[in-house]
Amino acid sequence: MTNTWEQVRNYVAGKWQDSLAVDRVLVWDPATGERLGNVPMSSSSDVGTAVQAAAKAAPMWRRVPVGERTNFLFKLRELLKQNFEDLSRTITIECGKTLAESQGEVQRAIENVEVACGTPALIQGYNSEDIAVGIDEIMIRQPVGVCAVIAPFNFPAMIPFWFLPYALACGNTVVLKPSERVPFTMQKVFGLIDTIGLPIGVVNLVNGGREAVDALLDHPHVRAVSFVGSSAVARYVYSRAAAAGKRVQCQGGAKNPVVILPDADLTMAGEIVADSAFGCAGQRCLAASFAIAVGEAAEPFTEVIQHRAESRITGYGLEQGVQMGPVITPESKARIETLVDRAVSDGAKLVVDGRNAAIPDYPKGTFVRPTVLANLPIPSDVARTEIFGPVLSINHVDTIDEAIEFVNSGEYGNMACLFTSDGSNARKFRYQVEVGNVGINVGVAAPMAYFPFSGARGSFFGDLHGQGRDAIEFFTQQKVAVERWPKTWSRKF
Ligand code: NAD
C-alpha cells in the first residue's frame, strides 16, 4: 500500500511495486514551488510486466458476469465519494487549479463510474429471428482484451475515468499511465482500487513518459489504446498504435473559438467567456482561446472581458477566494509568455498584460495572470498555436458567416461556442461548424458522462470517443453469429 507524497510507485498484479527505472523526474507544487516527490520513468520492462499481468487476468475477468463486474464499480464510486475532499486537494496541490475546479473534476470522474455501472444494459447486443427459415442472427459484444490508457496532466482524475470504468465493466483488463507531471492523484485512486477486491492483474498502473508509452504502443498483448494529450503526440500515438494493428482513440489539442453576436446578452457572454478562457488557468482543452466579436458586439464585449481579466484573483488554489491558480511548470509559463511577446511583436494589441505575475507569498509559483490580446493578425504563428494558458485573443468580423468561416479555417476542431438570442443563427452555427463540441450561450461545452466527449479534425484521431455509449463500443468487439438448428428449420415443425 502506498500513497505518500514522496514515493511514486507502480501498481502491478495487485501489488505496489518499485519501477526498475533509474531515471526519476521531480514533481513540484506549481503554486508553492515545494518539491512533492519524484516519479519513475518506467522502462519497457516495467510495462511488459504490467501488460503480462493484465493479459494473464483477461481470460478469467471476461468470464465474470457483467453485473458482478459492475459491483466493483459501485464500491469504487462509494470510495471516491468518501475521499472526495482528499482527492480534490491532491489535484490542486499537484496540478495547481483551484479547489472548486478540482472538486468539479472529481465529480466528473464519479459520474463516469456511475454511467459505467449501467454497462449491463449498455453492453447488450441485438438479434433477428428467421433471417431465413429456421436461421437466426445475433450480435454480441465481447471484451477486446488488454487496454492501455495514457492521460495528460490537466485533469489527473477525470480523464482516466473517461475510459477506465467502461473498459473494466466491458470485461477488459487495463494498464493506465498517468502524466508524469501529476502522478499523485492516481496513486491515491489506486490506493482505493486496491481495497475493492478486484482480481489480481485486472487493473495496473505504470508511471513514466515516452518510453513507457512506446512500450504500450508496441506490446503485442495490448489490443486497444486510449490517449488524451497534445495533437502532436496524439497523431504519433494514433499512427504507431494503428500500424501495430490496435484499435485507437486519440483526443488531441485545441484552439477554441467563441463567437459573440451583437444580439447576445453581452455582460453574460463576457462573464462566461472569461470563465472559459481563464478557468483552470486556461489549461483546459475546452478553454476559449479566440473570441470573435461580430459587428458592434466588439466594444462592449471587450470592456466586460477586460474587467473580468483584471479583477480575477490569482493565487494558491487551496486558499479561499482564489479564482485562478498557476500554470503547470516554469517551462509552461515561459512558453506562454514568449507566445504573448510574439503576438505583440506580430501586431496584436495588449489589452490586459498578465506576464511577469508576482503573487504575494508565492514567489516560486508559476503564475501567469489573465491576458487579453486584441486584433491578433490572422494568419500568424500565434493565431494557429495552442497556447494552453490564460490568454484570450479578441478579433472582430462583420458577419456570422465570416465568423463561421473563421471557426472552420483553424486546424483544430475541439469546441466552438456562439452567444446570441437568435435561434436561427444558433441553429445555423450548430449546423455548419466543423467541431466536435458546440456550445450555445455556454462557454465550456463539456459533454456529460452519458455523451461522447467529442472532438474533430486536428483535435481527434479515431472514430469512437471516450465516455458513454462510445466507450462501450470502443471497449467491445462485435461478434455476429448466424445459427441454424436442424430440428426447427423446416416450415412444417
Ligand atoms: P502531452 O501530449 O504532453 O502528454 C500526454 C501524455 O503523453 C502524457 O502521459 C505523456 O507522458 C505522454 N507523452 C508526452 N510526450 C510524448 C511522446 N513524445 N511520445 C509518447 N508519449 C508522450 O499533453 P499534456 O501537456 O500532458 O496535456 C495537455 C494537452 O492535452 C493539451 O494539448 C490539451 O489540449 C490536450 N487535452 C485534450 C483533451 C481532449 O479531450 N481533446 C483533454 C485534455 C487535454
CA distances from 250 to 36, 107, 355 (A): 30, 23, 32
Q: Is 288 helix (H, G, I), strand (E, B) or coil?
A: strand
Ligand 1 centroid to Cα of residue 39, in Å, is: 17
pTM: 0.96
Q: Is 211 helix (H, G, I), strand (E, B) or coil?
A: helix
Q: Is 250 noted as a catalytic residue in this protein?
A: no
Give residue for cell 513507457.
212
- pLDDT (0 to 100) of residue 486: 80
Ligand 1 centroid to Cα of residue 103, in Å, is: 22
Nearest CA to ligand 1 atom 39: 251
- pLDDT (0 to 100) of residue 3: 42
State whether the beta carbon of 388 lies less than 6 angstroms from ligand 1: yes
CA distances from 291 to 173, 321, 370, 457 (A): 43, 26, 14, 20
| Domain ranges, ordered by start, for the chain | 10-252+459-480, 256-440
State whether the beta carbon of 230 lies less than 6 angstroms from ligand 1: yes
Nearest CA to ligand 1 atom 42: 285
Nearest CA to ligand 1 atom 28: 229
State whether the beta carbon of 156 lies less than 6 angstroms from ligand 1: no
| Ligand 1 probe mutation, 44, 228, 249, 415, most atoms within 8 A of CB | 228
pLDDT in tens, 298-330: 999 999 999 999 999 999 999 999 999 999 999
Architecture of domain 256-440: 3-Layer(aba) Sandwich (3.40)
State whether the beta carbon of 179 lies less than 6 angstroms from ligand 1: yes
Q: How far apart are CA 242 and CA 462, in angstroms?
A: 10
Label residue 285 left, alpha or beta by phi (over 0 means left) and psi (-120 to 50 means alpha). alpha
- pLDDT (0 to 100) of residue 110: 98
- pLDDT (0 to 100) of residue 383: 92
State whether the beta carbon of 390 lies less than 6 angstroms from ligand 1: no
State whether the beta carbon of 210 lies less than 6 angstroms from ligand 1: yes
For strand 135-143 and strand 476-484, is the pairing parallel, antiparallel, or unpaired?
antiparallel
Q: How far apart are CA 234 and CA 350, in angstroms?
A: 32
- Reported in sequence order, the residue ranges of 215-361 that DSSP labels E, i.e. its strands, are 222-228, 247-251, 256-260, 288-294, 349-352
Cell of residue 493, nine digits: 415443425
Nearest CA to ligand 1 atom 38: 285
Ligand 1 centroid to Cα of residue 230, in Å, is: 4
| Ligand 1 probe mutation, 153, 250, 333, 461, most atoms within 8 A of CB | 153
Q: Is 36 helix (H, G, I), strand (E, B) or coil?
A: strand
Nearest CA to ligand 1 atom 6: 152
State whether the beta carbon of 468 lies less than 6 angstroms from ligand 1: no
Ligand 1 centroid to Cα of residue 329, in Å, is: 14
- pLDDT (0 to 100) of residue 4: 54
State whether the beta carbon of 285 lies less than 6 angstroms from ligand 1: yes
State whether the beta carbon of 362 lies less than 6 angstroms from ligand 1: no
- pLDDT (0 to 100) of residue 488: 64
For strand 247-251 and strand 256-260, is the pairing parallel, antiparallel, or unpaired?
unpaired
- pLDDT (0 to 100) of residue 379: 82
CA-angle at 218, arms to 189 and 150, nearest 5°: 25
Ligand 1 centroid to Cα of residue 62, in Å, is: 30
Ligand 1 centroid to Cα of residue 479, in Å, is: 33
State whether the beta carbon of 187 lies less than 6 angstroms from ligand 1: no
pLDDT in tens, 58-112: 999 999 999 999 999 999 999 999 999 999 999 999 999 999 999 999 999 999 9
State whether the beta carbon of 443 lies less than 6 angstroms from ligand 1: no
**Residue ranges of the chain with per-residue pLDDT less than 70:** 1-4, 488-493
Q: Which of 449, 447, 455, 456 is nearest to 472 (CA)?
A: 449
Please identify, by atom number, the ligand 1 atom nearest to the C-alpha of residue 388. 31
CATH class, domain 10-252+459-480, is alpha beta
Cα four-point dihedral sign 333, 336, 340, 342: positive
20 DSSP assignment:
S
Nearest CA to ligand 1 atom 13: 210
Buried b / exposed e across 294-311, counting CB within 10 Å, b at 16+?
A: beebbebbbebbbebbee
Of 147, 170, 285, 417, the active-site residue reads 285
Please identify, by atom number, the ligand 1 atom nearest to the C-alpha of residue 234. 2
Nearest CA to ligand 1 atom 26: 152
Q: How far apart are CA 86 and CA 22, in angstroms?
A: 30
- How many Cα neighbours within 13 Å face the side chain of 114? 14
- Reported in sequence order, the residue ranges of 319-427 that DSSP labels E, i.e. its strands, are 349-352, 371-374, 391-397, 412-413, 415-419
State whether the beta carbon of 359 lies less than 6 angstroms from ligand 1: no
For strand 135-143 and strand 126-132, is the pairing parallel, antiparallel, or unpaired?
antiparallel
Q: How far apart are CA 113 and CA 101, in angstroms?
A: 19
Ligand 1 centroid to Cα of residue 471, in Å, is: 20
State whether the beta carbon of 180 lies less than 6 angstroms from ligand 1: yes
